[in-house]
Chains A and B, each alone.
Chain A
Amino acid sequence: DAGVTQSPTHLIKTRGQQVTLRCSPKSGHDTVSWYQQALGQGPQFIFQYYEEEERQRGNFPDRFSGHQFPNYSSELNVNALLLGDSALYLCASSPTPRASGNYEQYFGPGTRLTVT
């Protein structure tokens, strides 16, 4: 049973460019959350997708957008990249929110984005 997978592993972009990161959730999970983790900091919640809709959003600008597909996989898009967007981007999956009584999130290995 594959866990959460993310692609690519590493990415280097230039300021002003756009980037798309991808995530496949753990089998049986239908909820996907995205986090940004700067070096030495904890993950910062970006948004959560469930039933192909954004259900909750953290304090991130509209340059950050996402999508969830019918197979529950998800994409994170960042437009007009800034140097400050350099970070580890983590995807986490979980079962249907609260329905199963199982609240733990399973994280992927992350995508390391460097903006130059």
Chain B
Amino acid sequence: SQKIEQNSEALNIQEGKTATLTCNYTNYSPAYLQWYRQDPGRGPVFLLLIRENEKEKRKERLKVTFDTTLKQSLFHITASQPADSATYLCALDFPLSSASKIIFGSGTRLSIRP
């Protein structure tokens, strides 16, 4: 079955530094890979989507890379701020003819210290 591994349960970063989160998967490469942010007690919030034929996607201070050979995606937050502290989830997206099936990783808890 498809498995997703996100790097260590928690990541602590000094404010201003770049935070890098890892998402590794086994078996099939998804057509799309998504990243979400989740704050305690709230639903996930969509951040970025990258397609299998794209190497990199950027949005403001966020950057996502997707390597289907390594079966890995990296999620970067540059100039990190304490407000970036949250759990970040990667999700594999397998589109079907009339539906889609999305598989989430267990998330990485990111803490940015001032």
* Chain A residues packing against B (C-beta within 8 Å): 4, 33, 35, 40-45, 48, 50, 55-56, 58, 90, 92, 97-98, 103-110
Given contacts A43-B104, A56-B101, contact A107 B45 (CB under 8 A): yes
Of B12-20, B60-68, B90-98, which stretch is located at the interface?
A: B90-98
A48 (CB) vs chain B CBs: closest residue:
B99
- Does A97 lie within 8 Å of B106, measured CB to CB? no
Q: Is the interface of B mostly helix, strand, loop or mixed?
A: strand
Number of B interface residues at 8 Å Cβ cutoff, please give it. 25
- Does A106 lie within 8 Å of B101, measured CB to CB? no
A4 to B42, CA, bound (A): 12
- Does A56 lie within 8 Å of B43, measured CB to CB? no
Is the CB of B79 closer than 8 A to any CB of chain A? no
Smallest CB separation, A102 vs chain B (Å): 9
- Does A55 lie within 8 Å of B49, measured CB to CB? no
